[in-house]
Amino acid sequence: MEKQFLTDAAERYYHNEMTPEERVYFEKLRNDNPEADQIVVEHLFFLEQLDRLSRIQKLKQVMNTVEDKLEVEGAIQLKNNKFKAKVIHIWKRYKRTISVAAAAAVVVSVFTASGVSIFSQNKKAALTPLVDRKLNQMEHKLNQMENKLKDVATPPATPFEANFRATGFLLNRNGYIITNAHVANLARNLIVENAKGVQFTAESIYSNALTDIAILKITDSNFKRTSPLPYTFREEDADLAEQIFTLGYPREEIVYNQGYLSALSGYYGDTTSYQIGISVNPGNSGGPVLNKNGEVIGVITSKETNADGVVFAIKAESIYQAVKEIKEREQDTIKIVNDNSLKGHDRVQQIKSLSNFVFKVKGN
Amino acid sequence: MKKNLGYFSSLTVLTDRQVDNFNDERALLKGLASHDPHAIELIYRQNYGVIEGFIIKNNGFAEDARDVFQEAMVILFEKAQSDSFELNCLIKTYLFSVSRRIWLKRVQKNKKTYLPEMDILEETIPVEEDLETHLKRNEDLDLMEAAMNKIGEPCKSLLEAFYLQKKSMPEIADQFGYTNADNAKTQKYKCLNRLKKIFFSQYKTEE
């Protein structure tokens, strides 16, 4: 009985239900009686565990409700959807002749079909994403407007405090920049910085987690059209063993590196990327991979941690795909000019001309 | 005059917006700490997609993404609830870093489907310490859940009603058909003792 009294008291103590006098008395009791104190301490610990379980269970309930809602909206994938991985797997196996764009279309359509069949009783579910996207476009326009206002109103004094750095490069002379989706998605605010150290505000207008391509647009009013791009983008697969090189910002200073094309597929047989042998470091993400003719063949994305010099680059085809998707969404039309002025020059000349088009991407 | 006003108002909008941004993150964390469904939904909308993308790209399924994200959310939630809490980076960066660590750990642990670790080339923030603490504390939580599942009915429901759903004693007496709150309380005490016994016996053998 004494024990029950103690645990009851401990419970009231834990929940702050004691009067001040009771509290004083209770604390004195614990002080004078180590055995009682032991029981109380144990019970308090136990209550804390129970409470924690309660808090987390409640959180999980709310999260499950949220997930259900987002799933119906199509904002997140069906929980039991093992389709995607399978489709990609099959696609990887029978890849050879299928172009990335076509393959992506297969993935998308199978996806849509599965989504529709599962939700056929719920028409809203299949339609909502479109609406969502339109909303995004509107939000996007609002953001742009706000950014323009910002340009007028803010004195350019405060330096930008970035918490990560990566690389990006121009897609055309009007200030569209290619980088990785995993870069763009990390940031709320983005800036890009050219080789001369001039910073421009930018925003992500496209980001595809699957291909890992993102396209940023420089929104800064101080940005002037650059001279024509010296490089072009190669839509077809590059050749095995081709010599390649990259420029990027693993440091605050631009860094050059060269290597070779190791395999025509990437991580775990992924046909949308290449494996290349080159030395890169954190910060190189989003950098261009070029061949000796000055054609961009890919975009650096990741490396294998446990192996040296095993690096993956997204094929340039995905860039064309991104441009096409942006156009289809009627969001923007981005012109890619194919006029190469690097071909035939030696590497030093090539890099001199290139480095003006490779940017630091920073964000916070 | 009108022009001036326009300029001035755009300035105000901007400052407001900056304050908003700042408050947004704090408000979101506050909302998360208090189980606010709106805050939690917003955090999902802003962050889930990226993490889902990362996990699926790294050989996971949508289901894994749900799991990992929930675990990361629990870590952030407990952080947000502690008094000394301060997040030194964006929620986005934090959730991504934690989720990424959790996922890579799982992939490595599961030897059968072992794959070389994929690393993105961005600096994520170090979260090893948070994760360790969390895993350690999760063992305690698992023990509690296991103990709960061991005590049997009606003890389990009774204790859950009181300690997890925080129902009052009269409510519980009514629900479980006890003649009065005192009877329910006595029963609860007996059940609690059993739970404690199981919990601490496992707890001690673990150590």
Three-state helix/strand/coil letters over chain B = CHHHHHHHHHHHHHHHHHHHHHHHHHHHHHHHHCCCHHHHHHHHHHHHHHHHHHHHHCCCCHHHHHHHHHHHHHHHHHHHHCCCCCCCCCHHHHHHHHHHHHHHHHHHHCHHHCCCCEEECCCCCCCHHHHHHHHHHHHHHHHHHHHHHHCCCCHHHHHHHHHHCCCCHHHHHHHHCCCCHHHHHHHHHHHHHHHHHHHHHHHHHHC
Q: Is the pLDDT of residue A84 over 60?
A: no
Q: Is the pLDDT of residue B188 over 90?
A: no
**pLDDT band at A146; cut points 50, 70, 90:** low
Share of chain A above pLDDT 70, in %: 77
**What mean pLDDT, rounded, does chain A reach?**
77
Question: What pLDDT, in 10s, does the model give residues A249-264?
Answer: 988 889 999 999 999 9
Residue A2: its H or E element:
helix A2-14
Q: Is the pLDDT of residue A152 over 70?
A: no
Pick from A353, A176, A148, A186: which is nearest to A256 by CA? A353
Residue B37 has its nearest CB partner, among A66, A154, A303, at A66
Q: What are the φ/ψ torsions at residue A175 (nearest 5 degrees)?
A: 95, 20
Other C-beta atoms lying within 10 Å of the C-beta of residue A329: 14
pTM beyond 0.80:
no
Does the beta-carbon distance from B196 to A43 stay under 8 Å? yes
A47 to chain B nearest CA, in Å? 8
Task: In whole angstroms, give the CA distance from residue A299 to residue B195.
Answer: 57
Q: Taking CA atoms, what residue in B is nearest to A211?
A: B57
Pick from A178, A236, A226: which is nearest to A202 by CA? A178
Residue from B10, B46, B122 to probe the interface with A (highest A Cβ count within 10 Å): B122
Residue from A1, A62, A360 to probe the interface with B (highest B Cβ count within 10 Å): A62
Residues of A in Cβ contact (< 8 Å) with B77: 55-56, 59
**pLDDT band at A147; cut points 50, 70, 90:** low
Task: In whole angstroms, give the CA distance from residue B42 to residue A69.
Answer: 12
Q: Is the pLDDT of residue A328 over 60?
A: yes
Burial class (CB in 10 A: 0-12, 13-18, 19+), A333: exposed
Q: Is the pLDDT of residue A54 over 60?
A: yes
Range B119-137 average pLDDT: 71
What local confidence, expressed as pLDDT, does residue B15 receive?
A: 34
What local confidence, expressed as pLDDT, does residue B119 receive?
A: 53
- Most confident residue range from A198-212, B11-25, B95-109: A198-212
- Confirm if A300 and A313 have CB atoms less than 8 A apart: yes
What local confidence, expressed as pLDDT, does residue B14 receive?
A: 33
How is residue A352 written in tokens?
């001199």
What local confidence, expressed as pLDDT, does residue B113 receive?
A: 52
Contacts with A349 (C-beta within 8 Å, 6 or more apart), sequence order: none
- Confirm if B5 and B13 have CB atoms less than 8 A apart: no
Residues of B in Cβ contact (< 8 Å) with A51: 163
Q: Is A240 on the interface with B (CB under 8 A)?
A: no
What local confidence, expressed as pLDDT, does residue A130 receive?
A: 24
Q: Is the pLDDT of residue A226 over 80?
A: yes
Q: Which residue has the higher pLDDT, A72 or A241?
A: A241
How is residue A273 written in tokens?
């990327």
Q: Evaluate the CA torsion angle A108, A114, A118, A122 in order and state its sign.
A: positive
A339 to chain B nearest CA, in Å? 31
Does the beta-carbon distance from A85 to B117 stay under 8 Å? no
Q: Taking CA atoms, what residue in A is nearest to B14?
A: A150
Share of chain A above pLDDT 90, in %: 29
What local confidence, expressed as pLDDT, does residue A42 receive?
A: 82
Q: Is A107 on the interface with B (CB under 8 A)?
A: no
Does the beta-carbon distance from A304 to B140 stay under 8 Å? no
Range B7-32 average pLDDT: 55
Residues of A in Cβ contact (< 8 Å) with B63: 79-80, 82
Does the beta-carbon distance from B56 to A75 stay under 8 Å? no
Contacts with A220 (C-beta within 8 Å, 6 or more apart), sequence order: A151, A200, A201, A202
Does the beta-carbon distance from A69 to B90 stay under 8 Å? no
Q: Is the pLDDT of residue A336 over 90?
A: no
Residue B164 has its nearest CB partner, among A46, A54, A306, at A54
What local confidence, expressed as pLDDT, does residue A145 receive?
A: 54
Residues of A in Cβ contact (< 8 Å) with B96: 186
